[in-house]
Amino acid sequence: MARIDDLVFLVRALVEERFGEGAPQLAGVENAAGEEVLFRQFRDLVNTREPLPASEEFLATQDRVLQGLIEDAGITDAAALQRVPLDSRLSLWRGDITTLAADAIVNAANSQMLGCWVPGHYCIDNAIHTFAGVQLRAECARLMREQGHEEPTGRAKVTPAYNLPARFVIHTVGPIANGHPTRRDEELLAQSYTSCLNAAEGLGCTSLAFCCISTGVFGFPQAKAAPIAVATVRAWLDAHGSDLHIVFNVFSEKDERIYHELLFD
């Protein structure tokens, strides 16, 4: 019941912030049936919330809820993952990157760097922003204000991970391939991986988890993206004499098979 009470407080606060006190939308909060429905309401609201300041009470409640949900889902320690037999610097892991305890995880961002604004969308950008908390969008907005322009493709930006079990999130904008990557798209995808590796090195990380950059709505076919990812990472590790532990994180069985063929077969 404590988490339900927390979620009711959060959803009420978000509704009142957007629509004002006494808004008719509050009726849906009072009539919400259970934790799952309330969390869906919370997620939809934070996915579409401007990067505004939040009260200490809101942040403390939000952090308690998110950390509890992540703990309930089960946190995986990157250090305990199986290493690739022929390259002990690498691991392949199928799971939810928001539950991975690594020094840094990579977010496939868009050029605005503010997360996915589609309510409840299950892209990685949305998931990372949802479970990190509203602090992440606020920090990304601050970085964008300082930069003064959208994030170019192939670069990397670092933020804290806030409520995630990782320490840092490294955000990169991959190329938009729309199913037919050009040679330039391939170069930019490799650049995204390299930029993230450079950022992780600068942070002193010992582990870095890559999502499948550009292979979602950006339309870079996984069968073409995965070999670029693996080759780029291996070349960087070799060139830097690095023992940075790299986790290739996948979410689907199909993607897992593609990476397995590249790393194990």
Rounded mean pLDDT, 150-178: 98
Rounded mean pLDDT, 140-163: 98
Phi, psi angle pair for 224, to nearest 5° = -95, -30
Q: How far is Cα 133 from Cα 129, in angstroms, rounded to an integer? A: 6
List all residues 6 or more positions away from 162 whose beta carbon is below 8 Å from its beta carbon.
63, 132, 133, 135, 136
| Residue 34: per-residue pLDDT | 87
Strand partners, 106: 170
For residue 13, the Cα-to-chain-centroid distance in whole angstroms is 25
Tens of pLDDT, residue by residue over 29-84, are 766 668 999 999 999 999 999 999 999 999 999 999 999 999 999 999 999 999 99
| Residue 21: per-residue pLDDT | 81
Rounded mean pLDDT, 159-178: 98
Tens of pLDDT, residue by residue over 82-93, are 999 999 999 999
Provide the percentage of residues in the chain whose pLDDT is more than 90: 91
| Residue 263: per-residue pLDDT | 97
| Residue 122: per-residue pLDDT | 86
| Residue 192: per-residue pLDDT | 98
CATH superfamily of 76-263: Leucine Aminopeptidase, subunit E, domain 1 (3.40.220.10)
Ramachandran region, residue 154 (left: φ > 0; alpha: ψ -120 to 50; beta: rest):
left
List all residues 6 or more positions away from 89 whose beta carbon is below 8 Å from its beta carbon.
83, 237, 242, 243, 244, 245, 246
- For CATH 3.40.220.10, list the domain ranges present in the chain: 76-263
Is pLDDT of 228 > 90?
Answer: yes
- In this prediction the pTM is 0.96
SS3 assignment, position 175: coil
Confidence of residue 1 (pLDDT cuts 50, 70, 90): low
